[in-house]
Amino acid sequence: MIPNRHPTAAARPSPFRAATLGRLVIGSAILSLSWAGGAAPRPRPPGAACAAAPIWGMVGPDRRTVPIANRLVLYRQFRLGWVRVNTDLPPTPAQGLTSLDDIGDFHSAGLRVLLTVADPALEHDGAPPQAYQDFAAALRATLLQYRPAMIAVENEADGASDTASAGAYLGELKIGCAVAHAAGVLCADSGMTSKMMIALLVHEYLLHGDAAKADHYAHFLRLWYPMHFQADPTGPDLEALLQRAGVRRARAILADLRRAGADRANLHWYVRPSGAATPQDQADLLRQIVQMMRTVSGLPVAAGEVGLDKPRGDDRTVDPVPFVAMMNQLADLGVAPVIVWNPGTGRFPANANSRSLVDAAGNLLPVGSALVALTAARPAVAAPHGPSCA
């Protein structure tokens, strides 16, 4: 495991200079639109969101191909406690994989909602103060209307469409978490891609002077992401490649999540199919990444998006064993909730992210059948913990 050689997040000085963006009024509270460090605000306890519930959750299947009634039947079959919904702010008419329109039905079914909110106006540097004010106002109205249990601010901030600096993203997160806490809602960051999580682990070992461990885990980057990393990036070349991949920006975000007010560090992870690596190597890699996230952020970990990676093959014949092993390991590690990405086939027959759990008609595929068996054998009920659930 990575040694905990840094001070706690609360004691660690901020790496960012204050960048005043104006002031924001939310009700009677005034929030500074700057990332100047300092202690994280003490959030209001979110009440019911801290009670015990099944940790398993899902995003999808696609609402455009599987009606809400059919999805609720699937969620009961999967014994879920959570469902994830994505929305831009301000909200736009329902048109994607998920919709705010379904949240009332989810609540009636006893499901908790992880709401991923994204504001395209804040995904680049230089947004004016009014953009932050609009974000806060839209978020507050959305939370009061739809009452999620947790929000994630943006989706995978290391993605190509999000070019905001670490300081700018943390400023957005600070505002989002303050609004969430005022509404009694837990707050998480955007999560980052699996590729970035491995790169962060490699970078962390380089920071601690363990080049052998860094090169060992860099093997997974060379093996799984050859289009992004040259055939044999070792020594100084490896660190240069990691810098180009934005790893230092990503680590700066992870290191200051708690200071920005987050309650969870958000893990996005796709396990590889059988044959991509040994089960022992995949388990060791995931364990190291979760430990790294906890050490660097000082926060408990939630898995806002997981799945079985889909580089090629047929969802109807895929081996679900790596997926089941990952899900069991996340529960063993105390990660909660665990949200499975399940697009379903239909409008996304060539989806590049994850194996589907059901087909376009909502019938179980091998990975879906495996999840039903897993949740039956392991209900995995847990109470959230952390700054907002002390």
Domain count of the fold of the chain? 1
Tell me, what CATH number does 155's domain have?
Answer: 3.20.20.80
pLDDT at 296: 98
- pTM of the model as a whole: 0.85
Vertex 312, ends 234 and 364: CA angle to 5°?
130
Domain residue limits at 126? 23-38+51-381
pLDDT at 78: 94
Nearest CA among 239, 95, 116, 118 for reference residue 169: 118
pLDDT at 389: 52
Q: How far apart are the C-alpha atoms of 320 and 337, rounded to whole Å?
A: 20
The reply to whether 29 falls in a domain is yes
The reply to whether 153 falls in a domain is yes
Per-position pLDDT tens, the chain of length 390: 555 444 333 333 333 333 334 345 444 343 544 444 444 433 444 455 566 778 999 998 888 878 899 899 999 999 999 999 999 998 877 667 888 999 999 999 999 999 999 999 998 999 999 999 999 999 999 999 999 999 999 999 988 777 889 999 999 999 999 999 999 999 999 999 999 999 999 999 989 999 899 989 988 987 887 666 554 544 445 666 566 668 989 999 999 999 999 999 999 999 887 777 888 999 999 999 999 999 999 999 999 999 988 666 666 777 888 999 999 999 999 999 999 988 765 433 444 456 788 877 778 888 889 999 999 999 877 655 544 554
* 190 touches 156 (CB < 8 A): yes
The reply to whether 44 falls in a domain is no
pLDDT at 243: 64
The reply to whether 68 falls in a domain is yes
The reply to whether 275 falls in a domain is yes
The reply to whether 7 falls in a domain is no
Vertex 363, ends 358 and 369: CA angle to 5°?
65
Q: 3-class DSSP state for residue 162?
A: coil
The reply to whether 17 falls in a domain is no
The reply to whether 387 falls in a domain is no
H-type alpha helices, the chain: 68-78, 103-108, 129-146, 166-182, 194-207, 211-224, 235-244, 247-255, 279-297, 321-332, 366-377
pLDDT at 159: 80
pLDDT at 376: 93
Q: 3-class DSSP state for residue 382?
A: strand
